[in-house]
């Protein structure tokens, strides 16, 4: 099993949801950035947030 680089929480202050331009929440367990207003979860891969709408997971 390979270790993934940690997500820099300071980066969260600079990132916004690409859909709503609202705040994001960090889910460390799932390695995702959550946009509650857009109901999307953006993946974090190798410590890098993937802020593409096509890559986001829809939330219920």
CATH code of the domain in which 25 resides = 2.20.25.10
Residue 18 lies inside a defined structural domain of this protein: yes
- Domain count for the chain: 1
Residue 1 lies inside a defined structural domain of this protein: no
Residue 3 lies inside a defined structural domain of this protein: no
**How many CA atoms does the CB half-sphere of 28 hold within 13 Å?**
5
Q: What is the structure's pLDDT at 49?
A: 94
Q: What is the structure's pLDDT at 3?
A: 67
Residue 46 lies inside a defined structural domain of this protein: yes
Which residues constitute the domain of residue 47?
14-58
Q: What is the structure's pLDDT at 4?
A: 66
- What is the Cα 60 distance to its own chain's centre? 16
Give alpha helix (H) positions in 1-60.
Answer: 9-14
Q: What pTM does this model have?
A: 0.85
On the question of pLDDT at 25 being above 70, the answer is yes
Residue 8 lies inside a defined structural domain of this protein: no
């Amino acid at each position: 099993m390979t270790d993934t680089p940690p997500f820099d929480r300071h980066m969260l202050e600079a990132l916004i949801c690409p859909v709503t331009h609202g705040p994001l929440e960090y889910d460390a367990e799932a390695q995702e950035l959550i946009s509650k207003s857009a109901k999307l979860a953006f993946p974090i891969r190798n410590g890098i947030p993937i802020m593409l709408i096509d890559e986001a997971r829809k939330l219920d």
